[in-house]
Structure 1
Amino acid sequence: MAGKFEVYKDGAGKYRFRLKAGNGEIIAVGEAYESKAGCLNGVESVKSHAPGAQVVEND
């Protein structure tokens, strides 16, 4: 089963997204957005920028 982005409203009425793995585990969360369109833009940004993202350890 493939992962999915879920878009939802939080308790303060802001839009947020979370990325869930195929097993349903939450593996990433987005910030709070004022509009649904802004939230969807955030999802698209993650989708387009993450494939080549580096892993950086700040120990």
Structure 2
Amino acid sequence: MDTEATIRRTIALIDQCKRLKPGYKSSCEKLVSQAAGFTLSLVRSASEMGVKKFLEDPPPFEPYQ
């Protein structure tokens, strides 16, 4: 899944919630909370994968001159 697209969808969902009538905000806020949690876990796992790949296959070292 595309991390950037997921973050954009979460932000769009938050913006939609801001425009809802008060009676609907509670369920929308719960949905946004779940989406934000999912987005954070996605970003966290993506960054862990990046660190893991970096450790397994580090870029060539070029000394500073």
Q: TM-score, normalised by structure 1?
A: 0.34
Q: TM-score, normalised by structure 2?
A: 0.31
Rg larger in structure? 2
Q: Higher helix share goes to which structure?
A: 2
